[in-house]
Amino acid sequence: MRIRLGAVVALLAAGAALAGGMQASADSLTVKTAQGKVRGKAINDGKVKAFLGLPYAAAPVGDLRWRAPEPAAKWKGVRDATKFGQAAKWKGVRDATKFGHRCEQASVFQDMVFQDEGPSEDCLYLNVYTPASATAKSKLPVMFWIHGGGFSSGSASEPRHNGDFLPVKGVVLVTINYRLGVFGFLATSELAQEGGGHTGNYGLMDMIAALQWVKDNIAKFGGDAANVTIFGESAGSMAVSTLMASPMAQGLFAKGIGESGSGLVATLGGGALADVEKAGDIWMEQAGANSLKGLRGVTAEEVLKAAGKMGMTGFAPVIDGKVLTEAVAETYATGRQAHVPLLAGWNRDEGGMFAQKSMTTEQWKAQAERLFGERAVEFLKLYAGETNEQALRSAIDFGGDSFIAYGTWKWIEAHAKTGDAPVYRYHLELAAPPSKFHAESSAFHSDDIEYVFGTLDTRPGCEWRPEDRKLSDEMMSYWTNFARTGDPNGPGLAEWPRYDKTGDVIHLDATITAAPDTLRARYEFLESVPVLPKAF
């Protein structure tokens, strides 16, 4: 009896200890934010805690449609008086185990898939992923992700942006939604009157509001509000360069990473507000609304349908006098941007989606003459086309340069000259295997995302090789090292020299190497062209 009683006591003690450990784990999934308590979930075999669908601003619906984001409402927890001890759970703890709705958008990119419950105007949510061991005292570097999609599509719920793996490298990851297209960037004269002379850029203001939320709350999740790195791809990268130029965003981040895109070229921040307002007024009339009140009274579906007539790029950031006080390029030229370390670059085959696969040397030379006239000879020295194979490669290169690479280069160069901070430049060259949405092996536009997040297995139909997984781990280390210290270098990695000091570029391939820039002459040529023509 004594033996049996001792065994029972031991078993009960072990069970109590196990329950205590489980309770401690459960408690670590509850965090008190400025709005109220939230409860997340464990992912990646318990290595990471995920807090999904956290509101960082009020739902921009009704009269808040096309207005600057308002603070998110608070909620309060109430003790359940009908229960006792540990069973007495808190009511009013927000469930943070599911993504919030993505923002209203048209379907533009076939490779964008989502894990949320669908589109809605009530979409200003963010997600926080943190290492399982993180506490309010950890002060880990924070990486703040801004998704791409041409400012018209995308969401933080895309599987390729999942936070299962990046936090394992010792960072807190934040991914956000922001208003898109017509909902994020409509500018009209009536909106300007309502906004004290400012209109448009609601999507950018959403990003700034999310950064402010991070400043106020991220310490509770283990992050360091004084060490935030903003990073993004395509339109997200354009947003990073733009936030670095925005007076409203100053002081909310300490570093920037740009992947394939910048706001220093094209129409981003370059259109006169009066012209943009006039175009918005005309669109509003065509949409059948006689006033802003009337436009706010129609459904989101009706707004999207009317916006479709403006095309994908019909609504974009503008110089509104508040978020942006001048063209982004002018801010960098005069050194008024945020003086923070920058890591930026692009992929080798950005222009693959634009190149005519049957390109011949005759067609390429004819196109050169059509685009550049008397400067065609100079152009063909940089984008050669003596063989059909060479002509196709040049078509891919010029397509990528005119689409995204030249603008990214211009941003890097400008910040290296006036930013008073370290600059690191990369070129992603490893061609990824074919997949469901990309039939050819290439380093295409957006190819970098899964490598950076460690989410290779979310890309459908792709048979990854050891060199892909190795490069992904290396890129994750470079990116998180940079977020930690402003320097991507670390143990076990190839040395990445500062571009602003040496002019060297890191070549991200099966074997990583650093070498001087060999493409500079191409971008200097494009810089000298008064109006940059497109190859597509």
For the question of residue 427 being annotated catalytic, the response is no
For the question of residue 234 being annotated catalytic, the response is yes
In one-letter notation, the amino acid at residue 427 is: H
Closest C-alpha to 377, from 525, 171, 197, 200 = 525
Catalytic residue among 152, 157, 234, 260: 234
| DSSP states along 56-91 | SS----GGGTTSPPPPPPP---EE-TTS-GGG-PEE
Closest C-alpha to 452, from 177, 179, 145, 239 = 145
Helix (H), strand (E) at residue 331: helix 328-333
327: three-class secondary structure by DSSP = coil
Catalytic residue among 121, 445, 450, 507: 445
Q: No. of H helices and E strands in the chain?
A: 17, 18
Closest C-alpha to 535, from 368, 336, 319, 295 = 368
**Strand ranges for 119-261 from DSSP E:** 119-120, 125-131, 140-146, 172-176, 223-233, 255-259
Give the Cα separation of 189 and 181 in Å (integer). 18
Give the Cα separation of 238 and 324 in Å (integer). 13
For the question of residue 237 being annotated catalytic, the response is no
DSSP assignment, residue 353? T
Asked if residues 535 and 351 have their Cβ atoms less than 8 Å apart, the reply is yes
335's torsion region: left (phi>0), alpha (psi -120 to 50) or beta?
left
Catalytic residue among 350, 415, 442, 450: 350
Asked if residues 295 and 303 have their Cβ atoms less than 8 Å apart, the reply is yes
Give the Cα separation of 179 and 79 in Å (integer). 36
Give the Cα separation of 240 and 230 in Å (integer). 6
Active site residues: 234, 350, 445
